[in-house]
Structure 1
Amino acid sequence: MEATLDAVGHMESLVGHHYRVDDYYEVGREKIREYARAVQDFHPAHWSEDAADALGYSGLVMPTTFVSIPAMLANRRLFETVITGYDVFVQTDQVFEMHKPVVTGDRLVSDVELESVRRIAGRDLLTVKNTFTDQTGEVVQVMHTTVVGVTGEEVDAGISDAVKRVVMHGIEVPSRTKVAETNGGSAPDAGLHLSQATRTRVPRTAIRFDDATVGTELPPRIATLTRGDLVNYAGVAGDANPIHWADSVAPLAGLPDVIAHGMLTMGLGAGFLTEWLGDPGAMTRYAVRLSNYTVVESNTVGSVEFTGRIKSLDPETKTAVIVLVAKSAGRKIFGLATAEVRLR
């Protein structure tokens, strides 16, 4: 117990650790399409320049959760050299704050920060903050990711060797022996404010604010997932965690079978919302707490049913809060999920 408390104290001392990634991530036209296909988001603004132009965008619009790709690349250094001492990380909460729509050709630079460390019910919860700025130096998105750090005491002792046998080449498995790097300075101010472009742009949503009513339910949607979908998402998003595709590893992590990526189910949910909304750039915040997982067996098709309703409306800002529910095999996989959207 003393060693555990010492480890927690060490992690708490690292809160605020920050660095800026040296290189930028350029948002590609075909990558947007690849990712949209992987999360089954067929909104025309992700696929057609003409459709994006009709909504007032200069290029294909990035899907809501697309930013998880450059975030994963940016965060690798943090999880390999700073957040050490854990064998597995389990995602629990995710928040996306959209300050400005991102389109084809934008060059994103990521600032990474260990935002908080908490110990709740014997578990270590770590929150990582990614602040993305574009080529103009303006903040375009902020992402907060909370994971639970799991040690070998809670999973099968053979999981590390099992992962090494199946993980794709070029992905380094985090080591307990690496030393944290020094703090790289402070992150840019990323308060909850929209860019000038977003504030002055009139959303081109399918629903008008004056026609919206609290309690209105969104048309439900059922998304299906196969092992092929999981493998495809892993490749597109760069998430090599084998619990999402390897039968030999999932049970060692205490799972009943291979499970869908949490970020994949969030992407499906975001597409469900923007399909109803009609304008992907009109969503300003998307927050999900994961409470369960979607099991995808090798010989069956998994499914996620999405429903939603308008929780509240703000006439001053013409914004709405949508509550999203996601269920798989009768279980709620989102403990709490909300989206804040602007309406015309």
Structure 2
Amino acid sequence: MVEAAFDIAGLVGYRYRADDYYEVGREKIREYARAVQDFHPAHWSEDAAWELGHDGLVAPTTFISIAAMLANRRLFETVMTGYDVFVQTDQVFELHKPVLMGDRLISDVELSSVRRIAGKDLITITNTFTDQSGDVVHIMHTTVVGITGEEVDAGVSATIERVIMHGVGTPAWASVTPDDVDTLSAENPVSAIGPRLSTISRTRIPRTTIRFEDITVGHELATRTVRLTRGDLVNYAGVSGDANPIHWHDGVAALAGLPDVIAHGMLTMGLGAGFVTDWLGDPGAIIRYGVRLSNYTVVESGSAGSLEFTGRVKSVDPETKSAVVVIVAKSAGRKVFGLATAEVRLA
């Protein structure tokens, strides 16, 4: 196995603040909700959002990944350059305040941990999002496996360059070495005072359609089956900014060793989050969502792929009127989520 260009573990703690804020747009929320097939009225109608006590359209749970992808480009393109491919494995969303239209989000980016398992580097990136009030509204942890060129087909990079959309390819910037970490971390520095977490998600009274008194451990959510076509994958790629060709180009998927084009991991997570918030009736009532990916959803050109979501209540907390829901996602009989849980608050 080819080693990375340097010891990636030496870069743990590397951090910076994104150069510009991300403004959450009204129509972008609707575009993303459509892309993850989440038709809860609070994502589409201001009146419906106001009825739930929100000041504007509520962004779906995984919407924040769009802003994270933009903020993280510098990390992937100038720092973590010893790898040819990254494969997403785990994702955790910590929601401290619902993200609403009009929010201006600043992301602090940190390469927060590296683990070496079975000869591969598992790298965790943490995005801490602060809104215009100065409070932390969302923290997102993304874990990826760094894969070197020896482990993928030699023609994959050249093929990607021929088909990838303009403005997405890796620019010819210099890579970063461990000696540069202290200097680079000082650019756009993160505040040394420490984050001030918003308390809204944990103190507001949720307006869920299901009440805490109505559930017990073992309570099951109604099964939901979702169809995914190639058009859905192309649409999600455009809306989210994740233009990786393995999600829409047969040739690149084959060179990557996949049986066919596969759905984005974040798309399947977005579908899973919508499955939970539809049951809740209030998208602002989810306060933590974590997914470990164990497989993928194949979407062939001539037929739609499908995902089946089931869920059950794993635990309840009467003091906080909260519950932990375990979500199972299956495609073609295979479990797509190795472990997925959502922590929710109930009326």
TM more than 0.5: yes
Determine if contact 1:142/1:190 at 8 Å carries over to the other structure. no
Q: 2:339 aligns with which of 310, 320, 336?
A: 336
**Which residues of 2 match residues 232-251 of structure 1 at below 5 A?**
232-251=235-254
1:170 to partner: Cα distance: 0.8
Determine if contact 2:83/2:149 at 8 Å carries over to the other structure. yes
Q: 2:54 aligns with which of 53, 57, 61?
A: 57
Q: Distance in 1 between matches of 2:173 and 2:331?
A: 35
Any idea what SS the aligned residue of 1:204 has? coil
TM-score relative to the length of structure 2 = 0.94
Match for residue 70 of structure 1? 67
**Which residues of 2 match residues 20-99 of structure 1 at below 5 A?**
20-99=17-96
Are 1:134 and 2:131 matched, yes or no?
yes
Match for residue 312 of structure 2? 309
- Cα 1:175–1:263, aligned 2, differ >3 Å: closer, same or farther? farther
**Which residues of 2 match residues 279-294 of structure 1 at below 5 A?**
279-294=282-297
Determine if contact 2:96/2:202 at 8 Å carries over to the other structure. no
Q: Distance in 2 between matches of 1:54 and 1:320?
A: 23
| Partner deviation per Cα, 1:68-111 (whole Å, 9 max, x = no partner) | 00100000000000111111110000000000011110100000
Q: Distance in 1 between matches of 2:333 and 2:173?
A: 38
1:189 to partner: Cα distance: 3.5
Match for residue 151 of structure 1? 148
Q: Distance in 1 between matches of 2:114 and 2:322?
A: 32
| Partner deviation per Cα, 1:124-147 (whole Å, 9 max, x = no partner) | 111000000000110000000000
1:174 to partner: Cα distance: 6.6
Any idea what SS the aligned residue of 1:65 has? helix
Any idea what SS the aligned residue of 1:313 has? strand
Alignment-mate amino acid for residue 246 of structure 1: H
Match for residue 209 of structure 2? 206
Alignment-mate amino acid for residue 37 of structure 1: R
Match for residue 263 of structure 1? 266
Any idea what SS the aligned residue of 2:250 has? coil
1:176 to partner: Cα distance: 9.0
Determine if contact 2:96/2:138 at 8 Å carries over to the other structure. yes
Q: Distance in 1 between matches of 2:345 and 2:202?
A: 10
Determine if contact 1:164/1:173 at 8 Å carries over to the other structure. no
1:179 to partner: Cα distance: 3.0
Any idea what SS the aligned residue of 1:210 has? helix
Determine if contact 2:5/2:81 at 8 Å carries over to the other structure. no
Are 1:221 and 2:218 matched, yes or no?
no
Alignment-mate amino acid for residue 98 of structure 1: L
Are 1:183 and 2:188 matched, yes or no?
no
Determine if contact 2:93/2:138 at 8 Å carries over to the other structure. yes
Alignment-mate amino acid for residue 223 of structure 1: V
- Cα 1:190–1:222, aligned 2, differ >3 Å: closer, same or farther? farther
1:207 to partner: Cα distance: 1.1
Are 1:165 and 2:162 matched, yes or no?
yes
Are 1:19 and 2:16 matched, yes or no?
yes
Any idea what SS the aligned residue of 2:28 has? helix
Alignment-mate amino acid for residue 209 of structure 2: A
Alignment-mate amino acid for residue 185 of structure 2: N
Any idea what SS the aligned residue of 2:48 has? helix
1:8 to partner: Cα distance: 8.0
| Partner deviation per Cα, 1:256-307 (whole Å, 9 max, x = no partner) | 1100000000000000000001000000000000000000011110000000
Unaligned runs of 5+ in 2: none
TM-score relative to the length of structure 1 = 0.95
Determine if contact 1:205/1:277 at 8 Å carries over to the other structure. yes
Residue-pair matches, total: 339
Alignment-mate amino acid for residue 107 of structure 1: R
Q: Distance in 1 between matches of 2:171 and 2:236?
A: 22
Which range moves more in the overlay, 210-219 or 324-333? 210-219
